[in-house]
Amino acid sequence: MFEAIAFYLFSFLTISMFYITVTTSQALYALTALAAGMIFISAFFFILGADFLGAVQIMVYSGAVMALYAFGMMFFDTTREVKEKQGNRFVIVGLSLVAAVLIVVIFAAPIVTDNITALYPITEGVGNTQDIGMVLFTKYLVPFEVAAVMLLVAMISGIILAGKKMDLSLTLMDEDEIKEMKKEEENKKVLL
Amino acid sequence: METAYLIETVIKIVVILLVFSALAGIGTYFERKVLAFMQRRLGPMNVGPYGMLQFGADAIKLFTKEDIIPTNVVSPIFKIAPVITVSTAFIAAAAIPFLPSFTLFGYEVHPIIADINIGILYILGVMGIGLYGPLLGGMASANKFSLLSAARSAVVFISYEVVAGLSILAPIMLVGSLSLIDFNNYQIENGWIILSQPVAFLMFWIAAFAETGRTPFHLIANDHEIIDGFGTEYSGMRWGLFYIGEYANMFFISFVISLLFLGGFGDGSVIGAFLFLGKVAFFFFCFLWARAAWPDVRPDQLMWLCWKVLMPIAVINIIITGVVIMEG
């Protein structure tokens, strides 16, 4: 009974949070609702007994949305509403409905006739974490490693893009040095 | 689900809520007294004997003060931000064993609300959400200083979490479990983890200071730079909730450090339980001690420390631990 109550409560909360994320024109509402929705999703993992995935969901998405907040802070005045360019509302609603139905059909159609069985049932007497580890390092080792390599690539490219003047620190420089640097930059612009 | 289990859980939740809300209030009294003695002052002296009722006076003031919502703020977010801080602190406490299990009137009580087998991950994750309170409060406030503080809380979040996660990975590899009870039982047989993992202990301790926003890393609400940061626009009990959340977090992280590295409550004897509370009190005292003794760092220094110093050390520590486990 508690599982059913928790499931419907968190389904309602998650869907309403993501609805707010999509519909609001306030950047702060959208970000906060996104973070809340992501955290409420972890409840489903807990209900299903996948504690490890639930905790990871909380950790990963709370950090990820925090980075989004940082961008929001840089690009918007988050206390004001964003003026959105809105086209024909009916077209947008219709298209998104069709897209949603299509996605559900694409994923559900191949398995709708099959009896869904768990490919990797929980091993008795072993914790949740160990179970994930076993599957991750046997059957899904290659995707796991590929994901790791892709993350490494993303990290290195991020460092290269952001780290053009990493050895310069404005806080450690004198006033004169900063002025000199600015002059040099201006001279460069003239040359270009 | 049994009715007895349900009633027991509800009672435990209520007790923990009441005890730690009160402790958070008393914590402010301790902080004032400790700071005062370290600075050769007396601290609060007037309310009650030796100023002991000061926190009651503070509570009355906070509860009865007008709750002002300024004009230009984003009011739903502004209102919910302090609730996030305080509620996540207490939600995280659900997986902390506060005492060894004991028998009360012939009924065995486990002083942990939910013994989930991923205790540490859960606690760190939910405590991390606590930083959303300062972030949202700061961003919703329509105040420059609050916005600065919100940006700083994002900086704190992305710097400390890496160190906290990587530093406890080595002890987790030793114990082979994420449950705090398993950590405690492992240390009964094999000695305290601080002896085999001193580097991990130091790094997790540093991360704990950043996580709770205490003084070496008090940049979220640094009084002499950005007024009260995210709390500038708050008044009354909403501001008080931020305070309760901060102090409850300090207590909970002290419990976690003692459980992870200093043997926890040992074999569950009465002496072990009191020693456990003593360790927790020591770590809480260290938070106050550091506030009296240390200057604050800048946000860029915090990022430098976490990413360029502590993270490589943590990774090297993990690799060495892995090699030792494989050899042994």
Number of domains in chain A: 3
All residues at 6 or more sequence positions from B101 whose CB lies less than 8 Å from its CB, including other chains: B108, B109, B110, B111, B268
- Residues A7 and A71 both lie in one domain: yes
- Residues A75 and A8 both lie in one domain: yes
Residue A118: domain span? 87-126
Chain A residues with CB-CB distance to B139 below 8 A: 28, 69, 72-73, 78-79
Question: Which of B132, B175, B301, B308 best tests the A interface by mutation, with the highest count of A CBs <10 A?
Answer: B132
Closest CA to B152 of B225, B80, B83, B87: B225
Structure tokens at A82: 């964003």
- Residues A98 and A77 both lie in one domain: no
Last residue of a domain, one of A53, A84, A115: A84
Asked if A79 is an interface residue toward chain B (Cβ–Cβ < 8 A), one would say: yes
Distance from CA of A141 to the nearest CA of B (A): 20
- Residues A9 and A76 both lie in one domain: yes
CB-nearest to B117 from A35, A58, A128 is: A128
Number of domains in chain B: 1
Asked if A51 is an interface residue toward chain B (Cβ–Cβ < 8 A), one would say: yes
- Residues A41 and A22 both lie in one domain: yes
- Encode pLDDT of B201-255 as tens digits: 888 988 888 888 787 888 887 777 788 778 888 888 888 888 888 888 888 889 8
Q: Is B62 part of any domain? A: no
Q: Is B100 part of any domain? A: yes
Residue B268: domain span? 69-327
Judge: B136–A58 Cβ closer than 8 Å, yes or no.
Answer: no
Closest CA to B231 of B153, B126, B127, B124: B153
Closest CA to B139 of A40, A71, A22: A71
Query: With contact defined as beta carbons under 8 Å apart, do B109 and A40 qualify?
Result: no
Judge: B125–A169 Cβ closer than 8 Å, yes or no.
Answer: no
Q: Is A27 part of any domain? A: yes
Q: Is A131 part of any domain? A: no
Q: Spell out the per-residue pLDDT of chain A, length 192, in tens.
A: 788 888 999 999 999 998 888 888 888 888 889 888 988 998 888 888 788 888 888 888 888 888 888 887 777 777 777 777 777 778 888 898 999 899 988 888 777 777 777 676 767 767 777 788 888 888 888 999 999 999 999 989 988 887 777 677 777 778 888 888 888 877 776 655
* β-pair partners for A26: A81
Q: Tell me whether residue B79 is exposed, middle or buried, using C-beta atoms within 10 angstroms of its C-beta: 0 to 12, 13 to 18, 19 or more.
A: middle
Rounded Cα distance, A145 and A137, in Å: 9
Task: Return the axis-axis angle of helices A51-75 and A128-137, rounded to nearest 10°.
Answer: 80
Q: Is B25 part of any domain? A: no
Write the CA distances from A188 to B47, B99, B252, integer angstroms: 67, 67, 55
Q: Is B26 part of any domain? A: no
Rounded Cα distance, B43 and B20, in Å: 23
